[in-house]
Amino acid sequence: MNNKECVITVEIGTNAVRVMAFDLGGKVIGSMKGSYPTFHAEPDHSEQDPDQMFITMLYVLKNLLNEEIHARNYKVISICFCASMHSVLPIDKHGAPLGYAITWADNRGKREAAELRKSQLGNEIYDTTGTPIHPMSPLIKITWLSRHDKERFKKTYKFLSIKSYILQQLTNGYVLDYSLASATGLMNIHNLSWESKSLDFAGITSDKLPDLVPVFHSPGKIRREYQKSLGLSADVKIITGSSDGCLATLGGGVWEEGKATITVEDSGAVRIVGKKVLQDDKQRFFNYLLTEKDYVSGGPTNNGGVIFEWFAKQFGVFKGPFDIEYTMVNLIHEAMEVAAGSEGLLFLPYLLGERAPIWNPNARGSYFGINIKHEKQHFVRATIEGILYEIYSIGKTLEEHRNINSLTASGSFASIPFCSQMIADIFNKPVSVGENPDNIARGAFLLYATDIGLFKSLDEAARSVVLANAYTPHKQNHKVYEKYFSIFERLSTKLYDEFEAISNYQNEQ
């Protein structure tokens, strides 16, 4: 084995691209990140500039190559991609974007989703695709475009995910891996083909979508102009890769019964792994594929780290224009001054509507129980607790189907010991965190390592994950959280009509 060979993982996240390099022993040898904005032209709209995302990816990749890889004489043998789910980007026949990409957080298709969810067809599509009927899914987004943006719909040559677009720009291939495709509501997860009932509802044919490929597939060589610009050889293998959620599960070593993984990045999720679809009559869970034989099941929340970042931007104290992370660290210290439960202040984090378990795109955020004694630090802590109460509510519904004895946490919250301890206390379960909480990149590396035979299977790859930090639940804190969580849970369902009314008023503005 040549010890100077390395693998690069590219994670195209909601607000940032993260590029990491691993040697073939799995050691991280370099990491860089670049951010891009999300635009909200209307309360229910969430869009991003695909070319800004592509250029940012190239910029970060090139900097990492120049500063960490070429400078240290490493040879890149492969680049593996992963991305957030549920994005839709219409392109013309020349491959040019027809506007911005619509992200997972976009709720403009809520009427189309409600119509389908109430029908027998909706039940059939959920059973065949594994994707809950919700405005997040590309099925609903394309349907919305067909009904409300007919000119753009008519001009569209293909509907891509943002990862498909970036791979097409880099290699010329129009592909979508089974993992991301299984989160579109358009792919039959049982026979691995585009689902005709979904296509008919959206008003498209399969040639309007990219080719379905396994996660180990290579869409082709890097275009010559990028080989030269990046200083990479034509032999570098591009791997289509997977979705961020599936890879976070693999990278967390969660590949057996009794375990679940929690991810809190911009969004959040609780996931388990199995060889069979997780059946739920209430359609509360997704069933996405990592490979043709491995299902990653669970529930997502719209309102993860992006909500704490929103709070920091509105109420934090900045020392400069780009110090959001510094500001968030200071807010965490303020939250630590308050006891568990924020002295009775509750926060419903639904600023972006909500997916699991309430699946209500009209849900809106609110603070509840404010009294004259509450100060800023109470609001900070209540905001974090509200985000994690929502994660807890997903975990509790999953436990109706599967025992969960321990948790692995990843993402931005997992890198903060205060938040990892809070997860352990709220769930009343032990929580483990890896040395590097970026389980998505670790999962992408394990995917590649399995592809080239360093591991015999994904099960063996998952067992190689070493978890360094463990958090034991504090029973007294759990009792406090249980008391307030019961109110949180009732509020999130009792306010259904009020959520709809305020959402309608906001959309009239």
pLDDT < 70 positions in the chain: 1-3, 321-322, 437
Dump pLDDT digits (tens) for 16-47: 999 999 999 999 999 999 999 999 998 889 99
Strand order in the sheet with 75-83: 28-35, 16-23, 5-12, 75-83, 237-243
Grouping H, G, I as helix, E, B as strand and the rest as coil, residue 222 is: coil
Query: Over 116-172, what HEC string results?
Result: HHCCHHHHHHHHHHCCCCCCCCHHHHHHHHHHHCHHHHHHCCEEECHHHHHHHHHHC
Indicate the DSSP class of residue 36.
-
Residues contacting 127, CB < 8 A, separation 6+:
none
* Cβ-contact 186, 129 below 8 angstroms: yes
Dump pLDDT digits (tens) for 392-440: 999 999 999 999 999 999 888 988 999 999 999 999 999 999 777 678 8
User: What's the pLDDT score for residue 130?
Assistant: 95
User: What's the pLDDT score for residue 437?
Assistant: 65
* Cβ-contact 208, 306 below 8 angstroms: no
Indicate the angle between helix axes 475-494 and 417-427, nearest 10 degrees.
Answer: 80
Number of other CB atoms surrounding residue 265 within 10 Å: 27
User: What's the pLDDT score for residue 3?
Assistant: 54
User: What's the pLDDT score for residue 255?
Assistant: 82
pTM of the model: 0.88
Distance between CA atoms of 214 and 430, rounded to whole angstroms? 34
User: What's the pLDDT score for residue 317?
Assistant: 86
User: What's the pLDDT score for residue 273?
Assistant: 92
